Chains A and B, each alone.
Chain A
Amino acid sequence: MQRISRREFVKRTAVTGAMLTSVTSIQAFLAACNTSTSTSSKPSKLTIAAVQGAEDGPLKKVAPMYQSQSGITIEVVEFPYDQLFEKLVTTFQANGSSYDLCMMDDPWMPKFGTMGALQPLDTNFGFTRDADIPSIVYDVGTWPPPNGPVPPTEQGKSPHLYGITIVGNVEMFMYRKDLSSSPPTTWDDVLANAKKFNKSGFSGYVIRGKATNPASSDSLPILWSFGGDIFDANWKVMLDSTASIDAITFLTQTLKKYAEPGAENTDAADRDRLIAIGHAFQSTTWPAEVTGVVEAQGVSQVIGKMGYIPIPQGPSGKGIGMMGNWLLGIPKGSHNGSYAAAFIKWLIQADNMKTYVQNGGIPTRTSLLNDPTLGQANPYFPALAKSLAAPPNWRPRTDQWNAVETIYGTAVNQAVAGLKSPKDALTAAASQIRTTMKQAGYPS
């Protein structure tokens, strides 16, 4: 047994600590540089970065089926909405290989497409369009966008499919069909019903007016249905146009008279609660809100009392829903691209998608949306099928969308709260958006 002095012991400990620190630093540096090597052998598992909530629940439920069929484990790593986006952006910036698949909200596609963060599913893995799935569903996963304005940096690039929708979200409209004999077809009908049914403790309309994303999502279908928009076909900002101001005035002043108290702080959960306890007549809605709360057994008091329809028509003569599809894509850094692609193909096969729907999934296949058996458990399916066929709008396909949404959603919130008139709020927002877009190289 070798004896060492206390001084020697301290010295050795210090040296060991210093070496460990150095090794850790070098490892961290190497990891940051992504020096790992790729493998093409069959992986034991595929890792999916997913959004936590109703959107990824069905995916987790069908994952074991795939494991039993293929022998590959599907590991779903969940993040809250905002964190998932930030996590993916930082992972893509580092070209990391942490995830073989990622769930993406459709407004994220421009950012990821511009970054070149994803592997093309058509050229790399042979994905083709299926006639049972509406074209818009493939279009939303294509970059650069096959129609509408294309960001200046992306013009001239050939479009490729980078994402496949697994949650066919489209914003719709819900109302109390037990109280009204016919569904509203226009926003004037919506206003008339709001007036008619509004009383103490029962709101004629629910505005989801919390600042930024909620206010933006709630108001965009109205903006579009009134003929307004944020950009025209050449990226010129038209948020301060008469049609846009009229739309936001209608929402934040005319309709607000019959809306719930505290509309400027209402988010989706608050809206669902008001509807589910029978304290409100109508509002816009997303499928996940319907399945998660409004039609959920043991939660809602209005099961079977709600009617679901596409977004009502505005003065433009159109009722335009908003897409909120969740897509699956394969990060460029993934070393298991072909296996990840095989999983996506498996998931969207008609029979597997049916199982997925039976587990709470929101389908994109028209045959499933119009399936009467599935429709009984999901009363909004016919409205969703119509909304997808309409087709709905997607949010402007620019990598600046998050910034634009923050500015626009704050302006709408200011108008809902009465801090500014709709005209002043939109004029200021339009100016800010012009500056932002100009700095990003857009011809605003």
Chain B
Amino acid sequence: MEQNVTIQEGYARLKKTRALFIGGLLIALVILIGVAVTLGSADYTMAESYIAILAGLFPGRFTAPEMAEIIVWDYRLHRVLFAVCAGFGLAVAGSIMQGILRNPLASPFTLGIASAATTGASIAIVLGAGVVGGEYLVIGNAFLFALLAALAIYGMARYRGIGSETMVLAGIAIMYLFSAVTSLLQYVGSAEQLRAVVFWTFGSVDKSTWPKLAIVSLVLACTIPYLLYRAWDLNALAEGDEVAASLGVPVERSMILFMMIASLITAVIICFTGTIGFIGLVAPHITRMVIGGDFRTLIPASGLVGALLLLGADSIARSILAPQVLPVGIVTAFLGVPFFIYLFMHRRNA
């Protein structure tokens, strides 16, 4: 009797923690967005930035200082929203990867997707070759190669039997292959091209535009609800193949499907931003430490944590060396340091 009460109490407490956590995250995110749109080298007060936003939504009712509307709408707003979406997506992809690979240190890049996207970008930059011409040359290539990597994982895993170990091994092979190709292209390219490739690998939200934001939002809007719908299956898979199978989850098909969805989300984000690391690793890990690994809440919560982390990193990137804008990937790389130190100091046998 007593034990039941304790378990029920414990679960109620957990539910309350989750609700508070997610609620708190939402509030923090809204506040951070509110602060981030006022950051920038153009000298506007906070009030002027908001007036500029309102002036864009209700022209005629509000008049903003000259240029403010253009600067806020064309250079700040979509960047902030893009950072939110990108952070959300990378975190969700990371949580999926950590689930199906049963490795809390997995990330969206564990399966070599980042290396593949970099190779695609390098081919576009150095050789000028790609599937989509014009301004989407690099983006198209990066996306294509990222998906190619995912398909290669699928192919290799299917050949040897689909399981988390085979996927990780295949991922490592893919990563080395594409890194080698990228290095070769960097050597062959001119100094200018090399610079362009390196810049791409830093990862930045600089190049965001409203259409790109729309694309990423669309992909997220289509995939996240489906993932939430299948959250129980993810929970089962995270427990182990046999457990999942015994619960009636089509293990192999599900693992592949989730892997492809996570790869798709990652690909569509990094093809626009370059490789932004650590968000996909740190965000789900932190979230799991607070509210546990139930994917029904893990997915949205880690998404919010990821959005907060990336937006925070981007805000730092824009302010720390003002007027220079640091690539956000560099700031997130530094994020990894305190995180791993923390893990190192607080190692628990989980």
A and B: interacting chains: no
